[in-house]
Amino acid sequence: MSETPPAPHSRVNAPTAALARLAEACGISTTYTAHDGERRSSSTRAIRAILATMGIEAGDDAACQRAADRLEAERRARPLPPVTVLRAGEGRDVEVHAPEGVSAELTLTLESGLAMELEGVRPGVFRFPADLPTGYHTLTARLGAAAAPATGRLIVTPVRLRAPDAVIAKRPWGFMAQLYSVRSRASWGIGDLADLRDLCQLAATKTGADFVLVNPLHAAEPVAPLTPSPYLPSSRLFVNPIYLRVEEIPEVAYMPGADRTLVDWAAEAPRAASLSPALINRDPIWRAKRDALEQVFLLPRPAARAGAFAAFRAREGAALEDFATWCAIFEERAAVRRSDGDDGDDLPAALASPHAPGIAAFRASHRERIEFYAWLQWVADEQRGAAQDAALRAGMGIGVMTDLAVGVHPHGADAWAFAPVLARGVGVGAPPDMYNQQGQNWSQPPFLPRALEEAGYEPFRAVVRASLRHAGALRIDHILGLFRLWWVPDTGDGERDGQGDAADGAYVRYDHEALFAVLCLEAERAGTMVIGEDLGTLEPWVEDYLASRGILGTTVVWWEREADGRLRPPEHQRADVLATATTHDIPPTAAYLAGAGVDLREKLGLLVRPVEEVRAEAAAERAEMVEYLVARGWATRGPGGGDPTDEDLLMGIHRAVLAAPALLAGVALTDAVGDLRTQNQPGTDREYPNWCVPLTDNRGLPVVLDTLFDHPRLRALVEAIRETRP
């Protein structure tokens, strides 16, 4: 039996008035509402540590007073804020801060290059026209005759995203898949982009599904060992090339026979692994695939293909060159670490950033390796595009729904490239809740709010644009992070970034108007729907805000409850959501019904309450769900009034999901084939094989894409879907 530790709020000291004032000025909340509705305080230690990561001295009250006064003086002295947000059709005033008696002029230069002088309505105050086009525009303020002009960005954003009329009319459903787990007889031991293409085609033609939601495809390390988690990537700007299908690259068709034979030999062992229920081991798969890709890279490219590659590099610009350079540096440093026995992650100062003094010489001496890593991204972009094109041609209304992770690995490519706007010595996560009673620390460095604003939100814009490419919809994991993030300071005992006590943190607020301005503008330009995963601890107004911007929320049938705790009937549920029966962070539905989630958390030592209590709660939750489904006619009791069969319960739960007014409904492939293994257990790292579990059925036998849509459980579930949502 686990001993219950003291609640986080019972071991903290309330901040002094001076510390609270400084924290507020920096967007740090000193209190928060926990999952149980109780108001709790963040520790003084956590608040001071977070301020330190922001570069602000807050060791005592005097230092806090000085820092707060300085921040206020800097704000007042600035003629224009770094970023101003305006919703389309909104005509309002903007103030230019000028010294007493100094005249001001304000020029607006549109994204198109057209410049206009803004009308002054009174000294220092100017009016934006109500008919400004959406886009990223520039403001230039001139104060008097002598001062240098001051500039700021104006983002004019759509008021609200709108789903396509066809989607609104149809209220479509689709499959949710962990792509790495969905393998075919042709894939190299891991689901890939060709499998995604075929999955979309088969789902559309055989079931009528309108989308396939996949895990983030973000880039990992360029050499083994690879981080398994798709939610802890090296970069959110680029794709993990482990998802490439080597044989789909056009140049492979022209390989000399001997070279093609080598590729086929390299594929034999990984292909055999696709037919095994054993855990997915990315490292040997990537070694074999990378060796083959290096051979393909050396092949001559026809003039048109060479031109397309050059155009891709030009389009992606410095971001791609920086990423490819980091990959080459990481590869070389990994070889050095192996030979020296060094397990450190820090780079030498000469290579510590894209602008470090040794970067130019490194690029000159590693030109071919950098080109190789850029080429990998080009062929990955082609195969991603082919998957989305195939989905739409097959009749899907949405196609591929991509997923955007919350952050990046603290020692990855984005952390290297975006270092000036990322906090160090802190990780992001979540405070304790009913399913993760010790809290969560995802070890990802968060954006520094003020630094991100000073950068005009360009790093965030780049991440959003990359995620929207070749997608019909975008899911944003933990979209609550665009409002605030739970920062967890390091323990201070020499541990690496993000390894602090997850319960001892504080929420840091972001300018959500600016972040959503970028998100909505980029999504409208891409013609893409956006779904926000808004589960967890959130302020009550957040759901309304997301709806007002046309961002769909997320519901899970188990967690849809009224204020009194009872399951919420469909007629009371939100319509502007993606509704599901499960998520990648809880067991598949069949395992959930069997109480496997409690057993696993007990085995891993994740419970902070007696296991008997947690099991009793799970049993009561299951019994309540049975009553709910039977009362609605979505499941039928067994002989003598016993529980419905497991299969009938599974069908009933999905009938409940599909009967809800949700605009979109998602069905996990794990549920469709009766899989019993959890893909990810939050709160664990190496204690559980997260993100390494292949798709298997209820007997533990592997299910491959070639026969997936002939699986009897899937066919029965699809029939139930058609009955519930014709």
**pLDDT band (50, 70, 90) for residue 101:** confident
Q: How far apart are CA 528 and CA 542, in angstroms?
A: 21
Cβ-in-10-Å burial (0-12, 13-18, 19+) of 27 comes to: middle
Residue 534: per-residue pLDDT:
93
Average pLDDT over residues 28-47: 89
Cα 541 from chain centroid?
A: 22
Cis peptide before 357 (omega within 30 of 0): no
Transcribe 516-531 into DSSP letters.
Answer: HHHHHHHHHHHT-EEE
Task: Flag whether pLDDT at 2 surpasses 50.
Answer: no
Residue 126: per-residue pLDDT:
95
Q: How far apart are CA 152 and CA 148, in angstroms?
A: 13
Domain boundaries of the chain, sorted by first residue: 8-75, 89-157
- The CA-based dihedral angle spanning residues 305, 309, 311, 312, taken in that order and rounded to the nearest 10 degrees: 140
Both tokens assigned to 558 = 């188990």
DSSP state of 567: B
**Interval 157-172: pLDDT, tens:** 999 999 999 999 999 9
Both tokens assigned to 340 = 């020296």
3-class SS of residue 667: strand
Q: Report percent pLDDT > 90 for the chain.
A: 82
Residue 145: per-residue pLDDT:
75
**Interval 311-339: pLDDT, tens:** 999 999 999 999 999 999 999 998 887 66
Please identify, in words, the CATH class of the domain defined by 89-157.
mainly beta
**Can you list the alpha helix ranges (DSSP code H) found in 242-302?**
257-273, 282-297
Q: Which residue spans within 200-246 are E strands per DSSP?
A: 211-214, 218-219, 235-239
**Which H or E run contains 403?**
strand 399-404
Average pLDDT over residues 259-271: 92
Reported pTM: 0.94
> Nearest-CA neighbor of 267 among 372, 336, 322, 190?
190
**Interval 459-468: pLDDT, tens:** 999 999 999 9
Looking at this protein, which amino acid is placed at residue 344? G
Q: Which residue spans within 473-591 are E strands per DSSP?
A: 473-476, 484-489, 506-509, 529-532, 553-556, 577-580
Looking at this protein, which amino acid is placed at residue 710? D
Degrees, nearest 5: CA angle 528-534-538: 140
Residue 507: per-residue pLDDT:
96
Residues near 723 by Cβ (< 8 Å), separated by ≥ 6?
Answer: 655
